[in-house]
Structure 1
Amino acid sequence: MRSLFIAASLLIATTTVAQTAAQKKATFINNLMKQMTLDEKIGQLNLVTPGGAVTGSVVSSDVEAKLKKGQVGGLFGIDGPAKIRQAQEIAVKESRLHIPLIFGLDVIHGHKTVFPIPLGLSASWDMALIERSARIAANEATADGLNWTFSPMVDISRDPRWGRISEGNGEDPYLGSQIAKAMVKGYQGDDLSKNNTLLACVKHFALYGGAEGGRDYNTVDMSKVRMYNEYLPPYKAAVEAGVGTVMSSFNVIDGVPATGNKWLLTDLLRKQWGFKGMVVSDYTSVNEMSNHGVGDLQAVSAQSLNAGLEMDMVGEGFLTTLKKSLKEGKVTLAQIETACRHILEAKYDLGLFDDPYRYCSEDRAKNEILSAANRAEARMIAARTFVLLKNEKQLLPLKKNGTIAVVGPLADSRRNMLGTWSVAGQHDKSVTVLEGIKASAGSTNVLYAKGANLSDDPVFAKKINVFGTEIEIDKRSPDEMIKEALEAASKSDVIVAVVGEAADMTGEASSMASLDIQPSQKKLLHALKATGKPIVMVLYTGRPLTLNWEAANMDAILNVWFGGTEGGNAVGDVLFGAYNPSGKLSASFPYSVGQIPVYHSMLNTGRPYNNEEFSKFKSNYLDIPNQPLFPFGFGLSYTKFEYSAVSLSASSLKIGGTIKATVTVKNTGSFDGEEVVQLYLRDVVGSISRPMRELKGFQKIFLKAGESKEVTFIIHSNDLKFYNSALQFVNETGDYELFIGTNSAETQKAAFKLTN
């Protein structure tokens, strides 16, 4: 009885402390806002950039003057304790009310220590590892003066033509939701007032990855059933994880631009999901609503505020028009004050009112950025994201003897190692693949030849080289470079061809109509194939590519995405067997662009084609298979894993209950290794058509050679819920199928019923 009393007392005390903290914050903000003029309240809604790392052609003007007038709520695009302290001092010492600024930057996959691109990180299927990458990024970013990141990006994408697929987590809402939660936790930790935690911003709300034609900023049009079941879950997961801010997207939803969409920003985000934080626009997305045809700057600014937007990034429509709109009755003072309050609350939570310079420690910057420990973790993490797509005759891992010819335009390219959206990354600190191979090769003789340009097209190269020279066209002719590569190959026992995309061939505004490897590199690969020597293709890419010829003709293919600062060393680790690759695709690789979208959770058709012999009047192609070249969840290992049949704890599951599904996985090869055991479900009969397979669970396990392990999944009836045509989140009784296996296409099957 006494223990119950103590527990109750502690609960009451904790609740009282929490209430006191909330009341203290409310009192502080209330008192501050009573002192603020209308202009100062509107000024807090203004997010500007003095230049630097920006994503549009517009750069803010007269920033210092606006800071002094209290017309700026936050700055982004700069980093470094000295620069940030200088700007903060202007706001704190020279503005009337001394309100500190919030400082943001696109810390997307690491800060100065750069980790693999997000699509690569998602291929690890390792939530602890992904959270750790965000924690290190937060530590470095805050040591560099920052307190806000525009990450995680959780847009579901099933169209690899869209360049920003590289910045997200692939095609699946369940996997994307788990990653969203891990990233938010990694950035924000358990206390935003600590000087090493970072305010996260989930983006782009919403549906941005569904752009028609894979063309960036383009129209998105889908049913609400699809939205709720397939595209919205990762954003919701981030909100449930406590993400502090949300960024609106560029696209329209039901014909209304997201930045001015009240159903999205108020009805869904705040009323249905209970979001309490601050909503910021994407770069000039308020202004760009005019291009969508919904009004001039004053009209779209008022519409955005009315919809629930609170901070205007760069466009300054709020700053220049809201006062007029208030006088004309187009917005209310309450709306302006609510927006201002949410921004001030974010600053309060970050501890900026207690100490505006808490993130401006020169000592932290010197000791904690690009440290040896961070680089070691980046190397370890990168290796765990690589996906082995092919390994004929166990060519990999390579032996540490003989001679290797390392060829290809990305083999010794330091500039391309970090990948897209590595804003603060230092390219000169990155490790090349050639360096990584030499460091891991032991007594192996390593020869090198560039072999080809990333592209021979100067017009294309100019488009890619906006942020620096990533495609460098050699002074030598393509034939001269291939000749040099063939000379190196002739002296070698095995060829390692390092090919693929330049860093900014993916990312924002990097849509591609063709997903083939560039013709210059294709020509090199064909020439190398003609030598008859075994070839390992090391593939750098920020998206699924069409690799039909490569899959048929290369002896081994290791997809390394863009591995970041230590990516070259990680490639060496994997090629020579210091680490056995365990990555699994989070986005399907198509046979052809004409097949897009192709993904694992597609609906069935009334005339399904099940890969049997061709039959007319079925839902199929005449020239390619229906299934992808490499399916979702696919990834090989240097060892082999064998799955038993699935065992269920019961033949039926009651609503509100659970059922256990168990398989035994055995490592039947000669290498220790990790395997991602994947669980998929299918609702066989529903009130609406349901996907053929939906990912509902996964476990990453380690098995020594010859070792077996029993893997159990506990399925709750809630895991079977979905949004029906009335947008009700429901269970429906009936028949279900369960699949467990090594990828979405290779599974063991069992069946059960859901009952009342």
Structure 2
Amino acid sequence: MTAENKDNNTGSAVVTDVPVASEAPSYSFGDAEFQILDDTPINPVDTYELPHVEGYAKPGDKIDDDILEMVKKLSLKEKIGQMTQIEIGKLMDKDGFLDLKQVEYWVNEWKVGSFIDSPGNHGGKYQVYSPQRFTEVVESIQKVALENGPKIPMIYGIDSVHGANYINGATLFPQPTSTAATFNPSHAYEAGRIAAKDTRAVGIPWIFCPCMDLNTEKIWSRNYENYGEDPYLASRMSVASVQGLQGNYKKDRNRVAACMKHWIGYGRPNNGKDRGSTWIPDNYLLEYFVPPFQAASDAGVASAMESFSDINGQPVPTSEFYVESLLRQHVGFKGLIVTDWGDLWRLYQDHQTAKEPYDATWQSIKNTSLDISMVPDNEKFSEALLHLVESDRISVERIDESVARVLQLKKDVGLFEQPYADKSLHSTVGSKQDVQLAIAAARESVTLLKNQDSALPLKKEDKIVVVGPTGNNISYQNGGWSLRWQGSLGNDEYYGGRGITIVDGIEKVTGTRPQHVRGPDIDGKWSQEDRDEVVEAVQDADKVIVTLGENTYAEFGGNVDDLTLPEGQLELVRLIKEASKAQIITVLVQIRPRLLKDIPSLSSAVVNAYLPGSWGGLAIAEILYGEVNPSGRLPFTYPKHGSQSSVTYWQGIYNYFNINGGEESYYNPEYPFGYGFGYSKITYSDIELSSSTLDLEGSPLEVSVKVKNEGPQAAKEPVLLYVNQHTRPGYTPDAYRLRAFDKIDLEVGEEKTVKFELSTKDVEYFKRDLKQHADAGVTFTVTVNAFQENARKVQFVTAGTYAFTR
């Protein structure tokens, strides 16, 4: 079975306008001197409609018969090629053009069946590629694959983390942590749906997303790619993201195959650095880190990516326990597994669990059901695996299993039916319709953390000044994985005016453009002249909006040794406090929760905007001026001290009594998980249970609580329900544990009754036998809105006799 050589718009697969190199390739990694901006006009339609395909697809229990027959007909080298993934930089020449001779080399010589990444990251001619030019690159590679080697369509994969972030003009949504702050999974769904459409528009049917690593180590540079520190919140958001990305991906050609990552434990490095080693007890891994992956697998995610990590001394890519026992058997995942970038070589280069490439390849393929190696830039994997099979170290049957899963994925996403892009989607990339969805998500993510003396909302007649490096910059609102791997590093030229900064947003809300003074740069560096300019600007202001944050980065590019904000940014707030009587409104535009030191005490209001995306400046301005009532809540614990970098709200014990009888709290962060409030007074009352006893073998309990908006504005209110166990025989219970949440709309004066269910699964936990247990005769407290002033509590007991009675 081979793909039809056709294009559904032009009737021809031939792409005539891609530059072809005449010289040998010379590999470079991004930011090459010759790189230029793509000048292709970006003129999207305002609105559009796509065909609706019902349902959600998932990997099947069995491989299709036609795929099994296809595997039988392939040579060994062709099979290994299907398990090989090469990055786009290996296909570019020294001038940044696609070198078709190099494409033919990889396809003909090594039968490579998969390619990855943006050419802008790897020496391509353009820093960022328009839909048209990106399509030309992908389709030119596809044409070579269909006419050479085994003539099987290649599958291209890419990281579309918050929208199709590598496609020029595509709508960039808030980063995933920002989306988690909405406590509204519909925003994760819509971000996934639009990312799928825009990525599919260039002929790419596979997205390496969503990320499900818990934000349990706050200094870790990849926190912003994930959905917070709580397993339940991350699970809900991950399922919504998978459903948005995939939909019925086996029939809907506007959707993609998603890839849950990074399996597993990647987000808790011991040293806080990206790709650091992790130590996580197996029962804790099952209790906290596995649930988001379990939820995504149950929702039908098509593929999974292994992590860079070694856990408890064992690298995941070679671990029978983590891949086979835990992912395949315990989770029940049936889809395709791909390594992360160069993972197999890290086994001997970093982890030192293998001697050399052949050994690394042998360990991984022998011990696990890994299907594709993201090599990504040499022939070593293919050479090693070919030798291992020919020398009977790896069986052909083992290879056939992986090749079948690879080809099944290609069939599922429609590559055998239509291997080329649907160019009619180009006009929808970046449409106003999509931008409105991104702004709506940003509006619900922005989190108000302090509002002393009603400093907010601002009045249009207030004399304000915006000070700080993130106040007038789209790049810093997006962070990494935005146009470029490391982001645009403050260079807004890449965005071509597509976005709204905070200053822009204030102008749109008030009709007047505010004065903006940068002060220190994003790294905290500034001169005396910069300081003098700030002092002069703020002296007569009523209120000063101070915009702080971080530079853009991704992965190890964001490693730091100290979680504190750059000293120059801290100094900026102190200088304004000394130079002006104005109220200070601090707006944080940042990737991770940087330590604030004395900023909260110096500020009348503190707003965490996270990374709200290109259009997030409008949402921030609307909230500052009260046109939108803030409804975001912290999806992680915001640390006060460096020692709290790895603290989560669920870690036991919350309180203990010292020998003098006084109560002391282990959990004393700057701001707790789930914290945040709006401009309306929201009251909670009449929290009730359907029964005071939970029958562990019977029906769930119903929890109900009344929620009322006493004004002065309509509000969106996240209602968060936690459970904590008073006594857990032999094990320390969670301090609190989020078990349910809902986000409701309340008009002024409106009261609603919110209902949840609690079942046995909500009181179970993993013991060291790696099985779930629930204790009889134990008291539990149900808390709605823990850590908030309007928290309400009620208790129940599990039926049966406690393990020890006198």
For normalisation by structure 1, the TM-score amounts to: 0.88
Whole-Å Cα distance in 2 between the matches of residues 53 and 199 of structure 1?
24
Distance 1:484-1:651 versus aligned 2 partners, 3 A rule: same
Distance 1:582-1:722 versus aligned 2 partners, 3 A rule: same
Secondary structure of 2:477 counterpart: coil
Cα deviation code 1:567-621 (max 9, x no counterpart): 112212211122111000111011101133221111228xx536xxx86799969
Whole-Å Cα distance in 1 between the matches of residues 288 and 534 of structure 2?
46
Whole-Å Cα distance in 2 between the matches of residues 619 and 34 of structure 1?
69
Whole-Å Cα distance in 2 between the matches of residues 312 and 391 of structure 1?
51
Q: Sequence identity of aligned pairs in percent? A: 29
Whole-Å Cα distance in 2 between the matches of residues 206 and 63 of structure 1?
33
Q: Which amino acid aligns with 2:656?
A: Y
Whole-Å Cα distance in 1 between the matches of residues 783 and 145 of structure 2?
57
Name the structure 2 match of 1:470: none
Q: Given that residues 478 and 520 in structure 1 are in contact (C-alpha distance below 8 angstroms), is that contact kept between their aligned partners in structure 2? A: no
Cα deviation code 1:508-540 (max 9, x no counterpart): 441222222211112211111111111111111
1:718 to 752, 761, 777: 761
Name the structure 1 match of 2:6: none
Distance 1:333-1:603 versus aligned 2 partners, 3 A rule: same
Query: Structure 1 stretch 482-491 or stretch 333-342: which is displaced more?
Result: 482-491
5 Å matches for 1:599-748?
599-604=648-653, 608-609=655-656, 626-655=667-696, 656-687=698-729, 688-744=731-787, 747-748=791-792
User: Pairwise CA RMSD of aligned residues?
Assistant: 2.5
Distance 1:749-1:686 versus aligned 2 partners, 3 A rule: same
1:549 to 561, 577, 598: 598
Q: Given that residues 203 and 249 in structure 1 are in contact (C-alpha distance below 8 angstroms), is that contact kept between their aligned partners in structure 2? A: yes
Whole-Å Cα distance in 2 between the matches of residues 709 and 413 of structure 1?
40
Cα deviation code 1:44-71 (max 9, x no counterpart): 01111123999xxxx9994431123452
1:653: how far off?
A: 1.4
Distance 1:318-1:70 versus aligned 2 partners, 3 A rule: closer
Does residue 189 of structure 1 match 2:242?
no
5 Å matches for 1:82-121?
82-95=136-149, 97-111=150-164, 112-121=170-179
2:432 to 365, 372, 378: 372
Q: Which amino acid aligns with 1:679?
A: L
Name the structure 2 match of 1:227: 285
Q: Which amino acid aligns with 1:318?
A: F
Q: Given that residues 214 and 289 in structure 2 are in contact (C-alpha distance below 8 angstroms), is that contact kept between their aligned partners in structure 1? A: yes
Q: Given that residues 541 and 562 in structure 1 are in contact (C-alpha distance below 8 angstroms), is that contact kept between their aligned partners in structure 2? A: yes
Name the structure 2 match of 1:468: none
Q: Given that residues 779 and 797 in structure 2 are in contact (C-alpha distance below 8 angstroms), is that contact kept between their aligned partners in structure 1? A: yes
Q: Given that residues 302 and 322 in structure 1 are in contact (C-alpha distance below 8 angstroms), is that contact kept between their aligned partners in structure 2? A: yes
Secondary structure of 2:414 counterpart: coil
1:165: how far off?
A: 1.0
1:123: how far off?
A: 0.5
Secondary structure of 1:82 counterpart: helix
Distance 1:22-1:151 versus aligned 2 partners, 3 A rule: closer
Q: Which amino acid aligns with 1:692?
A: A
Query: Structure 1 stretch 270-279 or stretch 629-638: which is displaced more?
Result: 270-279
Secondary structure of 2:476 counterpart: coil
Name the structure 1 match of 2:560: 512
Cα deviation code 1:143-178 (max 9, x no counterpart): 122111111110112111111111111111111111
Cα deviation code 1:285-341 (max 9, x no counterpart): 111011211111101111111222111102454312012112333211111111111
Does residue 180 of structure 1 match 2:238?
yes
5 Å matches for 1:221-370?
221-290=279-348, 291-295=350-354, 296-306=356-366, 307-315=368-376, 316-357=379-420, 360-365=421-426, 367-370=427-430
Q: Given that residues 637 and 672 in structure 2 are in contact (C-alpha distance below 8 angstroms), is that contact kept between their aligned partners in structure 1? A: yes
Name the structure 2 match of 1:39: 77
Query: Structure 1 stretch 69-78 or stretch 582-591: which is displaced more?
Result: 69-78
Secondary structure of 1:644 counterpart: strand
Secondary structure of 2:545 counterpart: strand
Cα deviation code 1:390-433 (max 9, x no counterpart): 11112211111242111111112233222122246853323221
2:507 to 432, 438, 460: 438
5 Å matches for 1:164-179?
164-179=222-237
Distance 1:348-1:482 versus aligned 2 partners, 3 A rule: same
Q: Which amino acid aligns with 2:153?
A: P
Name the structure 2 match of 1:393: 453
1:718: how far off?
A: 2.3
Whole-Å Cα distance in 2 between the matches of residues 82 and 193 of structure 1?
24
Name the structure 1 match of 2:37: none
Whole-Å Cα distance in 2 between the matches of residues 434 and 335 of structure 1?
58
Q: Which amino acid aligns with 1:520?
A: G
Secondary structure of 2:445 counterpart: coil
Whole-Å Cα distance in 2 between the matches of residues 527 and 280 of structure 1?
51
1:413 to 473, 496, 500: 473
2:519 to 447, 451, 455: 451
Q: Which amino acid aligns with 2:765?
A: F
Distance 1:263-1:327 versus aligned 2 partners, 3 A rule: same
Where does structure 1 lack aligned partners over 5 or more consecutive residues?
1-17, 458-476
5 Å matches for 1:14-33?
26-33=64-71
Query: Which protein has the bigger helix share?
Result: 1
Distance 1:65-1:445 versus aligned 2 partners, 3 A rule: closer
Whole-Å Cα distance in 2 between the matches of residues 280 and 39 of structure 1?
19
Q: Given that residues 162 and 173 in structure 2 are in contact (C-alpha distance below 8 angstroms), is that contact kept between their aligned partners in structure 1? A: yes
Q: Given that residues 544 and 590 in structure 1 are in contact (C-alpha distance below 8 angstroms), is that contact kept between their aligned partners in structure 2? A: yes
Secondary structure of 1:389 counterpart: strand
Cα deviation code 1:362-392 (max 9, x no counterpart): 3311x11111111121111111111111111
Q: Which amino acid aligns with 2:140?
A: Q
Name the structure 2 match of 1:465: none
Whole-Å Cα distance in 2 between the matches of residues 178 and 160 of structure 1?
21
Secondary structure of 2:466 counterpart: strand
Q: Which amino acid aligns with 1:286?
A: L
Distance 1:280-1:187 versus aligned 2 partners, 3 A rule: same
Whole-Å Cα distance in 2 between the matches of residues 267 and 422 of structure 1?
36
Q: Given that residues 220 and 253 in structure 1 are in contact (C-alpha distance below 8 angstroms), is that contact kept between their aligned partners in structure 2? A: yes
Secondary structure of 2:351 counterpart: coil
Whole-Å Cα distance in 1 between the matches of residues 624 and 788 of structure 2?
26
Where does structure 2 lack aligned partners over 5 or more consecutive residues?
1-56, 93-97, 119-128, 165-169, 488-493, 801-806
Q: Given that residues 722 and 785 in structure 2 are in contact (C-alpha distance below 8 angstroms), is that contact kept between their aligned partners in structure 1? A: no
1:639: how far off?
A: 1.2
Q: Which amino acid aligns with 1:67?
A: V
Number of aligned residue pairs? 700
Query: Structure 1 stretch 306-315 or stretch 337-346: which is displaced more?
Result: 306-315
1:730: how far off?
A: 2.8
Whole-Å Cα distance in 1 between the matches of residues 382 and 787 of structure 2?
50
Q: Given that residues 166 and 507 in structure 1 are in contact (C-alpha distance below 8 angstroms), is that contact kept between their aligned partners in structure 2? A: no
Whole-Å Cα distance in 1 between the matches of residues 647 and 428 of structure 2?
43
Whole-Å Cα distance in 2 between the matches of residues 570 and 63 of structure 1?
44
Whole-Å Cα distance in 1 between the matches of residues 710 and 616 of structure 2?
30
